[in-house]
Protein backbone atom coordinates (compact mmCIF):
# COMPACT_ATOMS: atom_id res chain seq x y z
CA UNK A 1 0.00 0.00 0.00
CA UNK A 2 1.40 3.35 -1.02
CA UNK A 3 2.04 5.79 1.81
CA UNK A 4 3.44 8.75 -0.12
CA UNK A 5 1.71 12.02 -0.79
CA UNK A 6 -0.92 12.37 -3.49
CA UNK A 7 0.34 12.85 -7.04
CA UNK A 8 -2.86 14.46 -8.31
CA UNK A 9 -1.13 17.79 -9.00
CA UNK A 10 -1.08 19.13 -12.54
CA UNK A 11 2.47 18.57 -13.81
CA UNK A 12 1.94 19.95 -17.30
CA UNK A 13 4.41 22.59 -18.44
CA UNK A 14 3.08 26.09 -17.92
CA UNK A 15 4.31 29.61 -18.60
CA UNK A 16 2.38 32.13 -16.53
CA UNK A 17 2.45 35.71 -15.40
CA UNK A 18 2.87 36.36 -11.71
CA UNK A 19 -0.49 37.32 -10.21
CA UNK A 20 0.63 40.87 -9.49
CA UNK A 21 1.38 41.42 -13.20
CA UNK A 22 -1.70 39.70 -14.68
CA UNK A 23 -3.79 42.88 -14.78
CA UNK A 24 -1.23 44.62 -17.00
CA UNK A 25 -2.29 42.14 -19.70
CA UNK A 26 -5.91 41.27 -18.95
CA UNK A 27 -6.98 44.34 -16.97
CA UNK A 28 -9.76 44.61 -14.45
CA UNK A 29 -8.37 46.50 -11.45
CA UNK A 30 -7.86 49.97 -12.79
CA UNK A 31 -4.22 49.67 -13.80
CA UNK A 32 -3.28 51.49 -16.99
CA UNK A 33 -3.64 50.81 -19.80
CA UNK A 34 -6.38 48.21 -19.19
CA UNK A 35 -8.79 49.72 -16.65
CA UNK A 36 -11.58 47.35 -17.69
CA UNK A 37 -11.61 43.53 -17.80
CA UNK A 38 -10.75 41.99 -21.14
CA UNK A 39 -13.74 40.87 -23.18
CA UNK A 40 -14.37 37.12 -23.46
CA UNK A 41 -14.26 37.54 -27.24
CA UNK A 42 -10.76 39.05 -27.16
CA UNK A 43 -7.96 37.15 -28.89
CA UNK A 44 -6.05 36.49 -25.64
CA UNK A 45 -9.10 35.66 -23.51
CA UNK A 46 -8.47 31.85 -23.60
CA UNK A 47 -5.28 32.39 -21.56
CA UNK A 48 -6.79 34.60 -18.88
CA UNK A 49 -7.96 31.91 -16.44
CA UNK A 50 -4.44 30.47 -16.07
CA UNK A 51 -2.60 33.79 -16.53
CA UNK A 52 -0.68 32.35 -19.47
CA UNK A 53 0.05 29.19 -21.39
CA UNK A 54 -0.65 25.61 -20.34
CA UNK A 55 1.24 23.56 -22.91
CA UNK A 56 -1.15 20.97 -24.38
CA UNK A 57 1.68 18.59 -25.34
CA UNK A 58 4.87 17.72 -23.51
CA UNK A 59 7.56 20.12 -24.80
CA UNK A 60 11.13 19.22 -25.64
CA UNK A 61 13.55 20.99 -23.31
CA UNK A 62 17.31 21.14 -23.82
CA UNK A 63 18.84 21.79 -20.43
CA UNK A 64 22.54 22.57 -20.14
CA UNK A 65 24.53 24.30 -17.44
CA UNK A 66 28.13 25.41 -17.26
CA UNK A 67 30.71 27.02 -14.99
CA UNK A 68 33.07 29.74 -16.13
CA UNK A 69 36.76 29.39 -15.35
CA UNK A 70 39.57 31.83 -16.00
CA UNK A 71 42.81 30.43 -17.38
CA UNK A 72 46.15 31.54 -15.96
CA UNK A 73 49.27 30.97 -18.07
CA UNK A 74 52.77 30.71 -16.67
CA UNK A 75 55.91 31.18 -18.72
CA UNK A 76 57.53 27.87 -19.47
CA UNK A 77 54.63 25.84 -17.99
CA UNK A 78 53.04 22.99 -19.92
CA UNK A 79 49.74 23.07 -18.09
CA UNK A 80 47.61 26.18 -17.39
CA UNK A 81 45.86 26.74 -14.07
CA UNK A 82 42.11 27.36 -14.02
CA UNK A 83 40.33 29.40 -11.37
CA UNK A 84 36.57 29.50 -10.89
CA UNK A 85 34.96 32.76 -12.00
CA UNK A 86 31.20 32.29 -11.82
CA UNK A 87 28.17 30.28 -12.88
CA UNK A 88 24.84 31.38 -14.28
CA UNK A 89 21.47 29.69 -14.72
CA UNK A 90 20.89 28.28 -18.19
CA UNK A 91 18.63 29.59 -20.89
CA UNK A 92 15.61 27.27 -21.05
CA UNK A 93 14.76 26.47 -24.68
CA UNK A 94 11.33 24.92 -25.24
CA UNK A 95 10.16 23.26 -28.43
CA UNK A 96 6.40 23.05 -28.11
CA UNK A 97 3.75 21.66 -30.42
CA UNK A 98 0.29 23.16 -30.80
CA UNK A 99 -2.60 21.79 -32.84
CA UNK A 100 -5.92 23.21 -33.98
CA UNK A 101 -8.20 20.19 -34.42
CA UNK A 102 -11.16 21.90 -32.77
CA UNK A 103 -12.55 25.42 -32.44
CA UNK A 104 -11.23 25.67 -28.87
CA UNK A 105 -7.73 24.53 -29.85
CA UNK A 106 -7.64 27.00 -32.74
CA UNK A 107 -8.60 29.90 -30.46
CA UNK A 108 -5.97 28.79 -27.95
CA UNK A 109 -3.25 28.67 -30.61
CA UNK A 110 -4.08 32.18 -31.80
CA UNK A 111 -4.07 33.41 -28.19
CA UNK A 112 -0.62 31.87 -27.60
CA UNK A 113 0.78 33.59 -30.68
CA UNK A 114 -0.54 36.99 -29.62
CA UNK A 115 0.58 36.49 -26.01
CA UNK A 116 4.17 35.68 -27.00
CA UNK A 117 4.24 38.70 -29.30
CA UNK A 118 3.12 40.94 -26.44
CA UNK A 119 5.67 39.47 -24.04
CA UNK A 120 8.68 40.66 -26.05
CA UNK A 121 7.54 44.29 -26.35
CA UNK A 122 7.66 47.32 -24.05
CA UNK A 123 5.01 50.01 -23.70
CA UNK A 124 5.63 52.74 -26.26
CA UNK A 125 3.81 55.51 -28.08
CA UNK A 126 1.68 58.51 -27.17
CA UNK A 127 -0.97 56.49 -25.36
CA UNK A 128 1.63 54.95 -23.01
CA UNK A 129 2.86 58.47 -22.19
CA UNK A 130 -0.69 59.46 -21.25
CA UNK A 131 -1.06 56.32 -19.15
CA UNK A 132 2.26 56.82 -17.41
CA UNK A 133 3.55 53.47 -18.65
CA UNK A 134 6.01 54.64 -21.30
CA UNK A 135 9.03 52.35 -21.46
CA UNK A 136 7.59 49.73 -19.12
CA UNK A 137 9.24 46.40 -20.03
CA UNK A 138 7.39 43.11 -20.47
CA UNK A 139 6.30 41.63 -17.13
CA UNK A 140 8.16 38.83 -15.41
CA UNK A 141 6.80 35.32 -15.90
CA UNK A 142 7.21 31.99 -14.13
CA UNK A 143 7.84 28.60 -15.71
CA UNK A 144 6.76 25.39 -13.98
CA UNK A 145 7.22 21.79 -15.09
CA UNK A 146 8.06 18.30 -13.80
CA UNK A 147 7.90 19.03 -10.05
CA UNK A 148 9.84 20.62 -7.15
CA UNK A 149 13.26 19.52 -8.41
CA UNK A 150 12.46 20.20 -12.03
CA UNK A 151 11.31 23.72 -12.87
CA UNK A 152 9.39 25.09 -9.90
CA UNK A 153 7.99 28.55 -10.61
CA UNK A 154 11.23 29.71 -12.20
CA UNK A 155 11.07 33.50 -12.66
CA UNK A 156 12.00 34.22 -16.25
CA UNK A 157 11.85 36.60 -19.16
CA UNK A 158 11.03 35.68 -22.74
CA UNK A 159 14.10 36.57 -24.78
CA UNK A 160 12.89 35.28 -28.14
CA UNK A 161 10.59 32.83 -29.86
CA UNK A 162 9.92 31.60 -33.35
CA UNK A 163 7.21 29.56 -34.99
CA UNK A 164 7.06 27.76 -38.32
CA UNK A 165 3.84 28.18 -40.29
CA UNK A 166 4.08 25.07 -42.47
CA UNK A 167 2.67 24.82 -45.99
CA UNK A 168 1.98 21.11 -45.58
CA UNK A 169 -1.04 21.36 -43.26
CA UNK A 170 -4.53 22.79 -43.45
CA UNK A 171 -5.40 26.20 -42.00
CA UNK A 172 -8.64 26.77 -40.13
CA UNK A 173 -10.53 30.01 -39.40
CA UNK A 174 -10.73 31.48 -35.90
CA UNK A 175 -13.54 33.92 -35.17
CA UNK A 176 -12.61 36.64 -32.68
CA UNK A 177 -13.49 40.13 -31.63
CA UNK A 178 -11.51 43.21 -32.64
CA UNK A 179 -11.23 46.05 -30.15
CA UNK A 180 -12.15 49.49 -31.47
CA UNK A 181 -9.34 51.83 -30.37
CA UNK A 182 -11.37 54.91 -31.25
CA UNK A 183 -8.52 56.24 -33.38
CA UNK A 184 -10.18 57.11 -36.69
CA UNK A 185 -6.81 57.89 -38.27
CA UNK A 186 -5.26 54.63 -37.12
CA UNK A 187 -4.47 51.36 -38.89
CA UNK A 188 -6.74 50.13 -41.68
CA UNK A 189 -6.81 46.35 -42.08
CA UNK A 190 -6.23 44.77 -45.49
CA UNK A 191 -9.10 42.42 -44.57
CA UNK A 192 -11.67 45.12 -43.89
CA UNK A 193 -13.89 44.48 -40.87
CA UNK A 194 -13.46 40.69 -40.97
CA UNK A 195 -13.10 39.14 -37.50
CA UNK A 196 -11.51 35.91 -38.71
CA UNK A 197 -7.84 34.84 -38.63
CA UNK A 198 -6.52 31.53 -39.97
CA UNK A 199 -4.15 29.29 -37.99
CA UNK A 200 -2.39 26.04 -38.96
CA UNK A 201 -3.80 22.75 -37.70
CA UNK A 202 -0.31 21.78 -36.53
CA UNK A 203 2.74 23.93 -35.79
CA UNK A 204 5.81 24.08 -33.58
CA UNK A 205 7.08 26.93 -31.42
CA UNK A 206 10.64 27.43 -30.18
CA UNK A 207 10.57 29.52 -27.00
CA UNK A 208 13.70 30.69 -25.18
CA UNK A 209 13.32 31.62 -21.51
CA UNK A 210 16.05 33.23 -19.40
CA UNK A 211 15.83 32.93 -15.58
CA UNK A 212 15.62 36.31 -13.84
CA UNK A 213 16.01 36.15 -10.07
CA UNK A 214 15.86 39.40 -8.12
CA UNK A 215 19.05 40.59 -6.39
CA UNK A 216 17.27 40.52 -3.02
CA UNK A 217 16.09 36.95 -3.49
CA UNK A 218 19.57 35.80 -4.54
CA UNK A 219 21.11 37.49 -1.51
CA UNK A 220 18.53 36.35 1.06
CA UNK A 221 17.37 32.93 -0.13
CA UNK A 222 20.17 31.25 -2.06
CA UNK A 223 21.94 28.61 0.04
CA UNK A 224 24.05 25.92 -1.60
CA UNK A 225 24.23 23.89 1.62
CA UNK A 226 20.44 23.63 1.69
CA UNK A 227 20.46 22.48 -1.93
CA UNK A 228 22.98 19.77 -1.06
CA UNK A 229 20.73 18.54 1.74
CA UNK A 230 17.81 18.20 -0.66
CA UNK A 231 15.84 21.33 0.16
CA UNK A 232 13.79 23.06 -2.51
CA UNK A 233 14.88 26.69 -2.14
CA UNK A 234 13.34 27.91 -5.39
CA UNK A 235 16.46 28.02 -7.56
CA UNK A 236 17.32 25.79 -10.51
Q: Could you give the percent of the chain with pLDDT greater than 90? A: 56
| Closest alpha carbon to 177 in 105, 115, 116, 110 | 110
Of residues 232 and 154, the one with the higher pLDDT is 154
Instruction: Report, as an integer, the average pLDDT of 149-156.
Output: 93
String of DSSP letters for the chain: ---S----S--S-EEEE-HHHHHHHH--SS-SS--SPPPTTSTTGGGTTTTEEE-SSPPEE-----EEEEEE--TT-SS-EEEEEEE-PPPEEEEEEEE-SSHHHHHHHHHHHHHHHHTT----SHHHHHHT-TTPPPPPEEEEESSTTSEEEEEEEEEEEEEE--SSS-EEEEE--------TTS---TTTT--EEEEESEEEEEEEEEE---HHHHHHH--HHHHHTT---S--
Of residues 134 and 30, the one with the higher pLDDT is 134
Residue 69 bridge partners (DSSP): 84
Residue 59: per-residue pLDDT: 96
User: What is the Rg, in whole angstroms, of the alpha carbon atoms belonging to the chain?
Assistant: 22
- Decide if pLDDT at 229 tops 80: yes
Residue 141: per-residue pLDDT: 95
- Decide if pLDDT at 37 tops 70: no
**Tens digit of each residue's pLDDT (9 = 90 or more) over 85-121:** 999 888 999 999 999 999 999 999 999 999 999 999 9
Residue 234: per-residue pLDDT: 85
Residue 32: per-residue pLDDT: 44
- Decide if pLDDT at 29 tops 70: no
Domain spans, the chain: 14-63+87-228
Amino acid sequence: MATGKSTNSDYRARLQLFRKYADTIWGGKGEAPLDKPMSDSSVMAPLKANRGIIFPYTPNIYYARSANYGMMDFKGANFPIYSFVNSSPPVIPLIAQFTATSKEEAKYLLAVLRFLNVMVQADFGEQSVSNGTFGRPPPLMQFSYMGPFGFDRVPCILTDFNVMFPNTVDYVPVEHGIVDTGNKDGFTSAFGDKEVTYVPTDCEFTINLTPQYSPRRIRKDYNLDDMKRGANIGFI
